Amino acid sequence: MNRATYPGGVHPPENKWTAESEIETIPVSPRFVVPLSQSLGAPSRPVVSEGEMVRKGQMIGRPDGFISAAVHAPTSGTVAGLERIIDSATGRQTDAVAIESDGRDAWAEG
């Protein structure tokens, strides 16, 4: 059986077009919609209500089933309400917590 050879080897383009770019800080999004279903198991139960102030890392959904995951706020801000959304992973409707960011991205204590 003959083996294919490549004189000089394979040299794909390096595509390092960002190598000289500055690192940038991306501003905090003004609004987040966080699904309460984070796995194939049971969705979490919301533990926040509309108008409540939350901080980054604060629990906004408590596990509610055999296979369920806690959900935490991605940023600080005000809970705009609970919404029904289409889960991008499953294509099914699920509950979500909408958060209007305060732009501070302040972490929860402890």
pTM of the model: 0.78
Contact 49, 99 (CB under 8 A): no
Contact 80, 68 (CB under 8 A): no
Residue ranges of the domains in the chain?
31-101
- Per-residue model confidence as pLDDT tens digits over 62-100: 999 889 999 999 999 999 999 999 988 888 899 999 999
- In which residue are the tokens 């394979």 written? 10
- Exposed / middle / buried, residue 7 (Cβ in 10 Å: 0-12, 13-18, 19+): exposed
User: CATH number of the domain at 31-101, please?
Assistant: 2.40.50
Distance CA 106, CA 89 (A): 29
- Per-residue model confidence as pLDDT tens digits over 14-42: 888 888 899 999 999 999 999 999 888 89
